[in-house]
Amino acid sequence: MPTSLLNQNSPSPYSTDIKSETHITSTNQLPQKLYAEVVVNIPLNKVFHYSVSPHLRENLTAGMRVKIPFGNKIIAGFCVGFTHTPFTDKTKDIIGVIDKIPLIDDLMLKITKWLSSHYCCGWGEAISAVIPPVVRSKKKEKWNGFVRRNEHTVTLDHDTLLNMKVRAPKQAKVLEILLEHPTEISAKELIRISGCKMPGLRQLEKKGFVILENKLPDAANTPRTIDRLQQHLTLTQEQQNAFDIINKKLEQPKPGIILLHGITGSGKTELYLQTITKALEYGRKAIYLVPEISLTPQTIQRIKARFDKVAVLHSNLLGTVHQSQWNDIKEGKVDIVVGARSSIFAPLKNVGLIIIDEEHENTYKQENIPRYNARDIAILRATCENALVIMGTATPSLESYSQALNGSYEKIVLSKRIGERQLPPVDIVDMGEEVRKRRGYNIISQRLQYYMNQSLARNEQVILFLNRRGFAPYIHCKRCGFVLKCHRCDIPMTFHKKFNTTLCHYCHAEAHPPESCPDCLANTMNYRGFGTEKIEDEIKNKFPNHTIIRMDSDSMRVRDAHEKALTAFERGEFQILLGTQMIAKGLDFPNVTLVGVISADTILNLPDFRASERTFQLISQVAGRTGRGTKGGRVVVQSFNPRHYSITYAAAHDYEGFARKELEYRKQLNYPPFGKLARIVFRSPQENKAKEKSSIVGDKLKELAKINGNHLEILGPSPAPMTKINNLFRWHILLKTQDHASIHTALHGVADMLKPTKSVQTMVDVDPYMML
């Protein structure tokens, strides 16, 4: 968790004292000579001053975009404040104001200022990241109206309707249709049935008979029946105890942070929904974050079954839908925002509750500039707005678990499943022993195949998990050992059978699979390993009478594919669901009685200090997809490392035991949560340039560490585990210390050296999640 910034006056997420270095105030309080403070979307954390002409003063407010001369170009910048004392006597004039209203408010200006300082990027880059591109582009949205009856229509008397049939028969027809079908109807469909055109519908709206709404076609805006809100479920005693604690927190002026550690199936979602109700009763609003787009449809359905005025934000929305949802939020038409990590920047006013579901997920970390963690931004925003944060998970991140141990977070435990259902037994299959017994490698072990046959014979469903897509992870020559690699990334190409091509999963380069070895010309090319595509073929061969659906980034490319696939599986159209980590969490299918983890080693063997933690989390999460109904369930985990503690503790459903063991290792090596990290990556088409630049910066950092004496440890420079991606060679340096202040001091000391040049690009990642 970040605790300091580059300058000493900057805040931590635990403090509300967020001070902008600019003076944000209204224009009518300023002296005659006015200068706007402007930032631009470049990797430079600097504020520029521009003169504001008298005719622009009334139209310009902090948070708006302005058109400015910048160098020899005219570009858009963000006005972040005003001053009467510019940095220089020679200032240029603002050319014009782009927006009619501010795109972001004072609070978001302050948060983006903190974000730019903590994650070492430009303030303009941070602001650009929190405003969706479709909002900045100002595309005109298409009107796709829906019509529903007003309360006045329900009480419409017979005589009035008869009179209307004489005076306006087509409008009367509309009312008759709405009386017979008390649902929202597409305006296009209603016009076709009734013959009443849009002017007639507008007249009915003015008379108070109908309500017209723009409901764009998307899962976020599925038409619903009137008065269909479901009631909350009855809480168990354990849930009720947790809810009482949460409610007391909500009533406090500074509610703080709750870590809701609940095993899978313990009813965390029901607690979220009932807490949202309480927040709304107190006149506050809520943000509900989910880690994966694939989880959003089920979450939306659950929330919209209980609440009105719900908006959805995530990157997979159609542009016009995204814009419409964002505008509704900004205009105060929404009480609850649901979405992925960027939803934390939603322009929602009066936020009193922020829920972070599956808080341990690495997808909350943004991998592009600015490289923020939505979990940290949520805590910062909640601190500013005096809101409660609930971080729910069955497998807390060790950073959050540590904060709960030291008392910074309040920890609430849900140790029982709803209905007293037991956690499923977990069988660990030693694949090394399997190979010896069966004299060869089989992707599906005998034990997994046996349990699959049992479940499928009872018309139950099975989930199979493998965190590797494609057919074969690499192609090699059995004669000379040649491995087909991407010429741009120097990593093995993955074979995709469906398209008969090899793909690089990093730069997306394609190549036709060779029939003979490019090195020795022998016809001995061999497809090694397996991905979800190969598993799909294997399952179809072993279980030809049963249907299977595959969910990975290859098969889920079409918009709304996630929702359609999960809906089909829920309806029982498919008996076997095979997928990557997108199916490992948050899904609730009572008829699933078996989960098979094809290989627990895919993540465990990664060169990353979080590999053990991620392995434990994934096995625990995917195991939680079974045994959620009355039929019970079972989990089979296949591994060549069956005795590794991350696997054995996951099989025993023992988070506390795993956390103690892993924290011991982390403490010895001063890795998070005990230490703070920053990573600098140097990229260049010429490896010697990347190596040279990293050496110069590394020497300077080591020199600064000696001078400051702040126990800053510099690891490297060394080649990155992925040494070449997209024709760029990569070297990296890891900074490790006790606090963020030391990291920021060191980065500030080499800031000029980290500016990108024509030959070398640099990337700074504070609190990195991926070390490859």
The C-alpha atoms of residue 310 and residue 325 are separated, in whole angstroms, by: 9
Please tell me what DSSP assigns to residue 399: H
Please tell me what DSSP assigns to residue 513: P
- Closest CA relative to residue 306, chosen from 269, 262, 333, 359: 269
Is 120 known as a binding-site position?
no
3-state SS class at 549: strand
Integer-rounded Cα Rg, in Å, for the chain is 29
Amino acid identity at 570: E
Please tell me whether the peptide bond between 396 and the residue prior to it is cis, using omega within 30 degrees of 0.
Answer: no
Distance in Å from the first CA to the final CA of the chain: 21
- Tokens standing for residue 58: 């009334």
The C-alpha atoms of residue 527 and residue 494 are separated, in whole angstroms, by: 9
- Closest CA relative to residue 61, chosen from 88, 89, 34, 41: 34
- Tokens standing for residue 16: 């509300």
Is 507 known as a binding-site position?
yes
Question: Residue 466 burial by CB count (10 A; 0-12/13-18/19+): exposed, middle or buried?
Answer: buried
Bridge partners, residue 645, by sequence: none
* Cβ atoms 747, 704 nearer than 8 A: no
3-state SS class at 190: helix
* Cβ atoms 379, 397 nearer than 8 A: no
Is 384 known as a binding-site position?
no
Q: Under the phi-then-psi rule, with left for phi > 0, alpha for psi from -120 to 50, and beta for the rest, what region is 326?
A: alpha
The C-alpha atoms of residue 173 and residue 168 are separated, in whole angstroms, by: 9
Helices (H) and strands (E) in the chain — how many of each?
A: 24, 31
The C-alpha atoms of residue 690 and residue 688 are separated, in whole angstroms, by: 6
Segment holding 194, helix H or strand E: helix 187-194
Amino acid identity at 56: L
3-state SS class at 766: strand
The C-alpha atoms of residue 671 and residue 665 are separated, in whole angstroms, by: 8
Is 477 known as a binding-site position?
yes
Is 196 known as a binding-site position?
no
* Cβ atoms 22, 81 nearer than 8 A: yes
Bridge partners, residue 210, by sequence: 149
The C-alpha atoms of residue 672 and residue 699 are separated, in whole angstroms, by: 24
* Cβ atoms 422, 632 nearer than 8 A: yes
CB count, 10 Å around CB of 70?
16
CB count, 10 Å around CB of 59?
14
Is 79 known as a binding-site position?
no
- Tokens standing for residue 46: 């600097």
The C-alpha atoms of residue 602 and residue 641 are separated, in whole angstroms, by: 11
Assign 3-class secondary structure to 679-714: EEEEEECCHHHHHHHHHHHHHHHHHHHHHHCCCCEE
Binding-site annotation, residues for Zn(2+):
477, 480, 486, 489, 504, 507, 517, 520
Binding-site annotation, residues:
477, 480, 486, 489, 504, 507, 517, 520
